A and B are shown apart, each in its own frame.
Chain A
Amino acid sequence: MKGADAPGDAGGAKAAGRPAEATRAAVRRGGGPGDPGRPGLRRGLRSLRDRLRSGRLGALPVVVSLLVTWIVFQSLNHNFLSPRNLSDICVDIVGPGLVAVGIVFVLLLGEVDLSVGSVSGLTAAIFAVMYVNHGVPEWLAIVSALLTGAAIGSLQGFLFARVGVPAFVVTLAGLLAWNGLMLYVLGASGTIDLGNHGLVAELSGRYLHSAVLAYGLAALGTGIYFVMTYRDNRARTRAGMAALPMWEIAERTAGIAVPSFAAAWVLEDFRGVPLALLVFLAFVVGLDFVLRRTTYGRRILAIGGDAEAARRSGINVVWTRVSAFAMSGTLAAIGGLFLTSRVASVGQTSGSTTLLINAIAAAIIGGVSLFGGRGTTWSALLGILVIQSIASGMVLIGLQTAVQYMVTGGVLLGAVILDSLSRRSQKVHGRA
């Protein structure tokens, strides 16, 4: 930021009220024609500074915290950034990460779901009891677990959206009740071992060791992103609409390519690409698409922005809210299966409040606004990466959970403060 405060715009940005901001944004969007000659870098810095000033931080804070976390732990213990540890982190994030992706849907509405930890524990217990204790076919047990998650989410969503009980209270009751039901389902035995066979056991133990696959996926992901952005841009240009300048497409593509290939390289160096990570990424990408590019996602964002305005535009607010809670419950169940798979058992401590707190913290650290209407599923991925990195680093340097909780709590508080400040700043700049 220091360097960005260069001349050329003396005081303008600070004094700039709303109109100037808006026109500037328009110019930036307008891209090329306005000021063709300016070099990309300076322009990028300028636009970055505008964004920071007006509080539109995007993924920047979480990426910075992730880098800081990694640098700190790497300097404390040289095994931290080893392929083995990074690969482990990549598998560890999947369970809580999926739960966090579900939470994103509810947070986008401006609500919160406190029951996800208990729901993931309960559904995992249902799966284990059916599959291990009663010999039900595994697919049937999995489907039952997922349907239970969806049903619980729908019930809570209904109580909130239709009956009008605050979501906080409904899901707090759920937190207790579903945990109790899990203990009841598990019965006297307390812990159920999954063993090494079956789909769920495979989920987190399976690595796809193939350089072609790893780099191929990285290339494919980058390629698809580039082609889609490029085509969209060309269509816009053809239609005579403002399009992104080419350097920005290149910059964004590089932003995808670098982490993808780095991840492929690191993972390939250990045991290959974890199957669980691929499943997680598929959910993140798929649901991001749903949120940003479909009518359904648009409705969720609209309700999070202004529920009454959404209702007046004819959106079925009740149904959309119920569905978001159902999504949260279902993803809690899926996440629960991955967590079960990781430890190969379900026990009385499954679906603890730590999971709940980590999932919510991940979404918020990743940049989902607690006030609703802002955030993506990528927030969940980046946020859980920060949290899991802290947890893993603490274990490596031999610190206790006590310290780990305190640090994670500090990061969470920092994220919420940042969210509130950026919201205030956006208000000042007429952006919220």
Chain B
Amino acid sequence: MSGAPVLALHGICKRFGAVQALTDIELEIHAGQVVALVGDNGAGKSTLLKAITGVGPADAGVIEWRGRPVRIQRPRDAQELGIAGVYQDLALCENLDVVGNLFLGHEITRAGVLDEIAMERRALELEPLAILAKHPPSVRVPVATLSAGQRQSVAIGRAILSRPELLVLDEPTAALGIEQTAQFLDLIDRLRDRGTAIMLISHNLGDVKAVADQAAVLRHGRNNGFFDVPSTTHEQIVSSITGATDNAVTQRTTKPWEDML
């Protein structure tokens, strides 16, 4: 993990009207690292993710890409840097088929005409579609016909199709079954080994424990601690999420975490 981080955030702020959603967020992620972004509902995780992918640009703060300050104002800006995202609501066009969704925004063309065959071939080679879909559906059916898990696979497939350097995932396992989740976590491991930086938002601390190297906790739109995941217990993270550690009294009365296990 030497050299400049793939992405570094300094003092990121975002406001929605009277609500200060993010305040002075600091975050770094290196190539080949999985950083879990955890926090309670409304902590600002998804907002931060959208600031990174350009879907909802930050109001203030500095974003550095490989050590250079960059501006991410539109989704296109993030894509050009090599950032791809899977959103909580998946953001798929239900009227288009699977291939159409996978390649939306970066279609393969030949002489200005969509090269459907080339796109379909690449779609069929795509890991998530092959391993995540229990009953692999035809890649030519509209996304509207797919189950929630299949849609999630499509969204994940679309994100990794562009071979991003930074992959940001918002609750990617929410609609997946147990077996599929395991396969997905394997996929994350493989992507990390290839040097992809991965930022993962998850409510499932089991998933976080399983794949993340670091956990960044957000609370009320602010940083609330960084943890080295392998050497941190579940409970330490939870208490940071809930703010239990803020309180001197709770800290005093709580037993050491190890005892509770």
Contacts and interface: CB of A to CB of B under 8 A. Distances in A.
Contacts of B96: 298, 301-302, 305
Interface stretch (A19-27, A151-159, A198-206): A19-27
A242 B139 CA distance: 10
A373 B107 CA distance: 18
Interface of A is mostly: helix
A305 B94 contact: yes
Contacts of B117: 232, 235-236, 239, 241
A189 interface: no
Nearest to A371: B95
A72 B121 CA distance: 49
Contacts of A304: 95
Nearest to B107: A295
Contact of B91 (A25, A26, A301, A313): A313
A51 interface: no
Interface stretch (A377-385, A399-407, A424-432): A424-432
B87 interface: yes
Contact of B135 (A19, A232, A301, A315): A19
Contacts of A239: 117, 120-121
B11 interface: no
Interface in A270-305: 293-295, 298, 301-302, 304-305
Given A295-B107, A305-B96, A23 B147 contact: no
A312 B95 contact: no
Given A309-B93, A313-B75, A314-B106, A298 B114 contact: yes
Nearest to A369: B95
Contact of A241 (B76, B124, B141, B158): B124
Interface in B96-130: 96, 100, 104-107, 109, 112-114, 116-117, 120-121, 124
- Identify the interface centre among A19, A314, A426: most chain B CB within 10 Å of its CB: A314
A18 B55 CA distance: 31
A311 interface: yes
A314 B79 contact: yes
Contacts of B87: 312
A30 B138 contact: yes
Instruction: Report the contact-size class of chain B (Cβ under 8 Å from the partner).
Output: 35 or more
Contacts of A432: 94-95, 144
B95 A309 contact: no
Nearest to B80: A314
Contact of A374 (B90, B95, B114, B135): B95
Given A313-B104, A313-B105, A26 B144 contact: no
Interface in B127-146: 135, 137-138, 140-142, 144-146
Contact of B114 (A29, A235, A294, A314): A294
Contact of B144 (A309, A311, A315, A426): A426
Given A314-B75, A314-B79, A430 B145 contact: yes
A29 B145 CA distance: 14
Contacts of A235: 117
Contact of A21 (B85, B140, B145): B145
Nearest to B143: A305
B99 to A, nearest CB: 10
A310 interface: yes
Contacts of B92: 306, 309
Given A298-B114, A314-B76, A373-B93, 11 more contacts: A25-B137, A26-B137, A236-B120, A241-B124, A242-B138, A293-B114, A294-B114, A313-B158, A315-B104, A316-B76, A432-B95
Interface of A: 18-19, 21-23, 25-26, 29-30, 232, 235-236, 239, 241-242, 293-295, 298, 301-302, 304-306, 308-316, 373-374, 426, 429-432
Shortest 5 CB-CB contacts between residues of A and residues of B? A305-B93, A313-B105, A305-B95, A373-B95, A314-B105
6 contacts: A29-B138, A235-B117, A241-B124, A305-B93, A306-B92, A431-B142
